[in-house]
Chains A and B, each alone.
Chain A
Amino acid sequence: MSPDDSCVRTLACPACGGTIAMRAAGYTVTLACEYCGTLIDATNPDARIITRYHELQAFLAIPLGMRGTLRGVEWEVVGWMQRADGWATWEEYLLFNPYAGYRWLIAQNGHWSFGTMLTAAPRLDGADAIVAGRRFTVFYGGNSARVLRVAGEFYWRVKIGETVRATDYVRPGAMLSLEQNDRERSWTLNEWLSGKEIRAAFDVPPPPAWLPGMTPLAHQPSPFARRIKGWWPIGAVAFVALLLMLSLFGATMQPQRFSLSVTPDGPSVSQTFGPIVLPLARQAMTVEAHTPGVEQGWVDVDVSFVNRKTQDRYDAYALNEHYSGQDSDGYWSEGDRSQTLKVASLPAGTYDLVVDAQAHHWGSSGSFAYDPSSGTYKSDGLPPVEVVLTVARGARFLSNFWLATLMILAPPLLMLLFHILFENARLAQKDGAPADADDWWQGMQSP
């Protein structure tokens, strides 16, 4: 019979008398009454009852007879059956188009796949199967899929309880199913449908979003992989822009140099320098505190920018220290004779730099006396330590740069974390050999 001959015919259900539409007349072998669920032999002129099935075809997400366009072809839903393999239960809708033939819509946990029966067996490569250059990894093996319920029409004699041995090969976005019994074996390629696609075709609710703790389908593609791949070029551009801004902003200018000297283990020395004029509404200041002469000791340097008009203070503190010695491992030294302080957001104005410095020698108290000629304290045997301060307008805050980098990276990193959790849950269902690097790498591929 040519497709042109196919048309909708009706027959009366021998069980309830209801009028049943046979949509793929000429192809249909088995027909289930949509009113009482009785299974009828459509090839018999008297429409013989195969089996009575008293449950209604309730809760079908897609009513039999509904038409929808999927991947460029208008399909009519002609049959429905529910199957289970002991681990999961799923529904299969048989689609029919007189020119394109039959296809399957498989629904499980709210997710939909579009199944096409292959006319040639795929090439097997070890435990993998290859179809059209796409490699599928064996995922489930040796399960028995059994028909639980059935409604509508089919191109073979469907029986409740009919069982086939099923092996599933998977790559994200597609599943290759081998179903076999004693008489035949068939391969079906099931391609995962996005919520948008299935909704546009048959107006069904979109699949539920995956949340940690949920088990994804074996061939469900990670929604996070797609985001990571879409986001990384954006993140890279943003990072380059950030590097550019780091180089453009924060240069120091108009340095001023001040110095004072402090006696180790002597009293604190306080000195005021200035004026320092800040013309911008807000600016950062960099103070480099350098104590080249500190040895076996430390210098506390407190600096304050004091606004001459408002007396507002902006403080910072540096600890310069240097120690060295000799032990069984040889020479050692530690500490830093120089510290760079960065003070943020000083308002415009004229400032004084107030410096309090105190030097100490490690391991000795020392003795010192006031020297009126220099106005400083001198310690016996310990020379004064010079504190050199270089004050400049502007500051480059690397902390801002790293914080911005972290903020740019945070969303892709979060997606990566979710992707790992998703793939972990997906691959945990795999039968046989545990998931390897190839499985994880495949998880990053888009369907």
Chain B
Amino acid sequence: MKNAEAETLLACHCAGLPGTEDPRITKAVRLAEKDPALQQRLARQRAFDHRNLAAVEQLVLPQAFLARLDAGQPESARPLSGKAALTQPVLLACGIAALTLLGWGGLTLWNRAHSFPGKDSMVRMVEVNDEMTGMEMEPKKDPSGALNDWFFDKYGFEDYFLPAGFENYQTIGARLFKQDGEPVAQVAVEENNMIFFSFKAEDFGVALPNDEWHIFTDAQWVAAVQQHDEECFMVCFRGSRGDMEALLKGKAGKL
């Protein structure tokens, strides 16, 4: 601490008033006690304050005033206005709690509105894409609508289903894998690096109104699921909800 700073902080020192000191002021006082110039200044200030404090202590609170306070009425009935009311600690705490509850409630409602039975299994299906190297699939260059027989011949899988509008995409690979012991047909499509999934709805607890799209996002993926009778179809790619809505326009199914 320099002398100039100590001199400034020294003015905040008032001997005889316990509990009024700050560590920086105490340090300034210690420094002043060792410095000849500041030592003199400190002594004069202490003498000056000592005399004035003695005079201040002579100022006595009139007893009649205490009685007046005792009989007084707080202005609590008067409502606080505008900013003053908003900055009350109790109101601030209530406001934050209300906002948190509203946020949580809103999130819960949003999740409920965008959830459906079996969604967790669908999310896990989408996450399978991230674990794949590309080697798992058998190269297959055909229109997507032409794989029915291939899935049946190769795997005995009878539930390959595509909604109208998805039959003519050029595929680059396909396979059948099992999730939770249940078969899922997976097809990779050239356009937009899309992945199609087809499976039996009841195998994964999916229960959706017929021919209605349900869109959800998971990390960088967006997926849309549609059930038709016992079969389910899901398409996913890396993109946004808006990209998916644009894709589904003109395809069979209610958005």
* A, B co-complexed: no
